[in-house]
Amino acid sequence: MEQDFSFQRKLSRYISLLHRRRKQYMSDALKPYGLKGNLYLYLTCLHHNPGASQDFLCEYFKLDKGSVAKGAKLLAELDYIRREVDENDRRQYRLFLTEKGEKFIPTIYSFLQKWCDRITDGLSDEERFMLIRLLERMEENGKRCADQKS
- Reported as a single tens digit per residue, the pLDDT across 58-116 is 999 989 999 999 999 999 999 999 999 888 888 888 999 999 999 999 999 999 999 99
Domain annotation for the chain: domains and CATH numbers: 11-119 (1.10.10.10)
Residue 1: predicted pLDDT = 46
Residue 88: predicted pLDDT = 84
Taking the model in full, what pTM does it have? Answer: 0.84
Q: What is the mean pLDDT of residues 132-150?
A: 88
Q: Is pLDDT at 53 greater than 50 in this prediction?
A: yes
Q: Tell which residue, 28, 32, 49, has the closest CA to residue 114.
A: 28
In DSSP notation, 29-85 reads HHGGGT--TTHHHHHHHHHHSTTEEHHHHHHHHT--HHHHHHHHHHHHHTTSEEEEE
- Dist. CA 84–CA 119, nearest whole Å: 38
Q: How many CB atoms lie within 10 A of CB 43?
A: 21
Residue 148: predicted pLDDT = 83
Q: What is the mean pLDDT of residues 119-126?
A: 97
Residue 2: predicted pLDDT = 57
